[in-house]
């Protein structure tokens, strides 16, 4: 059973359409949606173990800011380590996750006019005392990132562990409303990359996630 915006529903072939409808509603009305238990505990454990192996092999790199020629590693703004994922080469649970993201993209394209064509994704690890200051995910000179998705892999996460995702939402008067989301294992969060500023609050414990963007153009590593 998964939970989409606080309502329980089974993820299976018969239900993807109604899941898509709930996601589309959340995105259009609130700018974000949350799906709990999107990943099973066995998938969470498998992906985490793989990330730890890759980290030990030195495959993770300090994350940067901006893209291409504007790329810079600024440890004052963000302090996480990332490894880009090629869905075609990924381990089984990551590949299955990618297939579900592709299915969500198909559903959203049926219901919203986002023109999603592909996605890009990386593994991310925040160490103790890491954070990512307030930002928007679209680059200044490229706006192909339409929706941001995050899936967390932190079992037994407690409030003192920090690392909350803080979205800066607005009410109908345009007033800013911070909204915090705990990075709980198996939880998927999707939000509008062009609209929602957000940050990752200071982590007190190592924090694992899959982070990606649904794009309105084809990526080099096309999967859909």
Judged by the rule CB under 6 A, the positions of this chain that interact with ligand OGA are 124, 132, 137, 150, 165, 198, 200, 209, 211
Instruction: Considering the complex, state which of residue 103 and residue 137 has its C-beta at the smaller distance from Mn ion.
Output: 137
87: tokens are: 């869905």
Tell me the site size for Mn ion, rule CB under 5 A.
Answer: 1
Q: Which of ligand OGA, Mn ion, none has residue 33 at its interface (CB below 5 to 8 Å by kind)?
A: none
56: enclosing H helix or E strand = helix 41-56
Instruction: Considering the complex, state which of residue 45 and residue 182 has its C-beta at the smaller distance from ligand OGA.
Output: 182
Cα-based torsion angle of the residue sequence 69, 83, 192, 77 in order, rounded to the nearest 10 degrees: -60
What is the C-alpha separation between 63 and 73, in angstroms, rounded? 6
Q: Which of Mn ion, ligand OGA, none has residue 94 at its interface (CB below 5 to 8 Å by kind)?
A: none
Q: Which of ligand OGA, Mn ion, none has residue 38 at its interface (CB below 5 to 8 Å by kind)?
A: none
Instruction: Considering the complex, state which of residue 159 and residue 172 has its C-beta at the smaller distance from ligand OGA.
Output: 159
Q: CB within 8 A of 14, min separation 6: which ones? A: none
Q: Minimal distance in Å, beta carbon 7 to ligand OGA?
A: 23
Q: Which of ligand OGA, Mn ion, none has residue 150 at its interface (CB below 5 to 8 Å by kind)?
A: ligand OGA
Distance, first Cα to last Cα, the chain: 25
What is the C-alpha separation between 151 and 188, in angstroms, rounded? 4
**Which region, judged by CB under 5 A, interacts with Mn ion, from 24-32, 63-71, 129-137, 177-185?**
129-137
What is the C-alpha separation between 34 and 94, in angstroms, rounded? 19
Question: Number of helices (H) and strands (E), helices first, in the chain?
Answer: 3, 13
Which residue's C-beta sits nearest to ligand OGA?
Answer: 165
């Amino acid at each position: 059973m998964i939970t989409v915006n606080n309502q329980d529903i089974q993820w299976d072939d018969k239900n993807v359409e109604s899941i898509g409808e709930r996601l589309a509603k959340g995105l259009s009305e609130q700018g974000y949606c949350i799906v709990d238990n999107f990943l099973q505990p066995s998938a969470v454990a498998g992906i985490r173990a793989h990330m730890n192996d890759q980290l030990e092999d030195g495959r993770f790199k300090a994350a940067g800011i901006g893209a291409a020629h504007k790329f810079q590693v600024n440890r004052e703004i963000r302090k996480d380590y990332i490894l880009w994922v090629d869905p075609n080469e990924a381990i089984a649970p990551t590949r299955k996750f990618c297939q579900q993201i592709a299915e969500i993209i198909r559903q959203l394209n049926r219901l919203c006019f986002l023109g999603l064509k592909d996605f890009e994704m990386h593994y991310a690890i925040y160490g103790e005392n890491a954070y990512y200051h307030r930002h928007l995910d679209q680059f200044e000179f490229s706006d192909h990132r339409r929706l941001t998705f995050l899936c967390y892999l932190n079992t037994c996460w407690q409030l003192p562990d920090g690392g909350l995702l803080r979205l800066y939402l607005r009410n109908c008067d345009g007033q800013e409303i911070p909204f915090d989301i705990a990075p709980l294992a198996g939880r998927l969060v999707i939000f509008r990359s062009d609209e929602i500023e957000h940050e990752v609050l200071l982590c007190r414990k190592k924090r694992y996630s899959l982070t990606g963007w649904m794009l309105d153009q084809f990526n080099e590593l096309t999967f859909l």
